[in-house]
Amino acid sequence: MTRTPRTGGQAGTPRTGGQAGMPSTGLPAAARLLLAVVAAALFLSGCAADGSAPIGGGGNGAQPAQTVAGGGSTVVPVQPYDIRPLLNPAKKFFGATFDGVPQNLSPVQQYATKVGRTPTLLEYYLGWGDALQADQTRAVWRDGQLPYIAWEPYKATMAQIAGGSQDAYIVSTAKTLRAINVPVAISLGHEMNGNWYPWGTKQSNAADFVKAWQHVHDVFQDQGVSTVIWVWSPNIVNPAPNVALKPYYPGDGYVDWVGVVGYYALTGAQNFSQLFGPTFSQIRTFTQRPFLLAETGSQPSPRKPGQITELLKTVADQPDVVGFIWFDLNKETDWRVDSSPDTLAAFRAGAANPAYDINLTGLK
């Protein structure tokens, strides 16, 4: 089952960098990240080529200028946030999305009270052309969640993005992320293998999607952004069995996580293996990047408590899955974890698994 497309978007986003003005296409992933870190460090320490002032209060606890002998001062360089410990942590991300976030974070704590665990990954949506709100992105991270931005290009085609006509907007977003210096996961054009979004199979093609993804990534690199976890997010293949995923894959140098979207409906796949197995198997033929269940939920039925129990246990036990994001909204159907007392009890029990005891503070 495919959910009805959402509209619009919220502020959020970022990651991998490159030295400003230096072409990044074709460089290995490690070289790209190194160039990004160097460029970001120069910017954040006040040595950026554009003369930008140093940014205080960075993600790594930047220190202000210190007084030295003779009454002068020196700027302690602010290092770009190192996202590498977040990419494949020993514990699992416990994620969710709600109405009203990130402008209002009260649903996060309400959910934590309900399920017995505070989310460590929060998904929300950024419409193409909408400004990234730096204060909201910082607030999510300070609240204890890794911001996860589903960036939805409703207002530009993938060909336009790839061709450079959207670069002013991309650069502006990248500069905002570089300045706030906190980790953010970004998924650009999610569910691209379906036909229900304009960037999907009806109005776009695999070649343009890949070019657009690589272009956005490279612009971020050239702006010195090294704090984004890039999440390539296809829908499960069940609704689109004739659409091969490999042609849509931008390459390991452009992707950190594979964020698979899949929901349990009244018909079709009824267990984890049936729902995600075919997609996982196909993806493993061309990449070994870690999986994230980027959006998941279960339609109310007598099977929902069992599906919740199995999903949370499978994510906890499967080494190549870094976590999940539960779509906790009553939209199209009641996907929420408390759609019945039995489903909430099953979710609370699964959430108590120590595999979800990820400590973002310890990974900073």
- Residue predicted with more confidence, 79 or 27: 79
The pLDDT assigned to 60 comes to 38
Cβ atoms 59, 183 nearer than 8 A: yes
Mean pLDDT, range 277-283, rounded to an integer: 98
pLDDT category at 39 given cuts 50, 70, 90 is low
Mean pLDDT, range 273-277, rounded to an integer: 98
The pLDDT assigned to 35 comes to 56
For 168, other C-beta atoms within 10 Å of its C-beta total 9
Residue 1's identity, in one-letter code, is M
Q: Which domains does the chain have, with CATH numbers?
A: 29-363 (3.20.20.80)
| Chain mean pLDDT for the chain | 85
Percent of the chain surpassing pLDDT 90: 77
The pLDDT assigned to 294 comes to 98
pTM over 0.75: yes
- Residue 168 has φ and ψ, to the nearest 5°, of -60, -40
Sorted by sequence, the CB contacts under 8 Å of residue 76 that are 6+ apart come out as: 62, 63, 64, 65, 66
The pLDDT assigned to 56 comes to 28
**Taking phi first (over 0 means left), then psi (-120 to 50 degrees means alpha), and beta for anything else, what does residue 71 get?**
left
Q: Which of 123, 152, 191, 310 is catalytic?
A: 191
pLDDT in tens, 119-154: 999 999 999 999 999 999 999 999 999 999 999 999
Cβ atoms 37, 80 nearer than 8 A: yes
Q: Which of 123, 152, 295, 310 is catalytic?
A: 295
- Residue predicted with more confidence, 18 or 66: 66
pLDDT in tens, 47-98: 433 333 332 233 433 333 344 445 555 555 678 899 999 999 999 999 999 9
Cβ atoms 158, 211 nearer than 8 A: yes
**Catalytic residue list contains 310:** no
Count, residues in the chain: 364
**Catalytic residue list contains 152:** no
pLDDT in tens, 287-301: 999 999 999 999 999
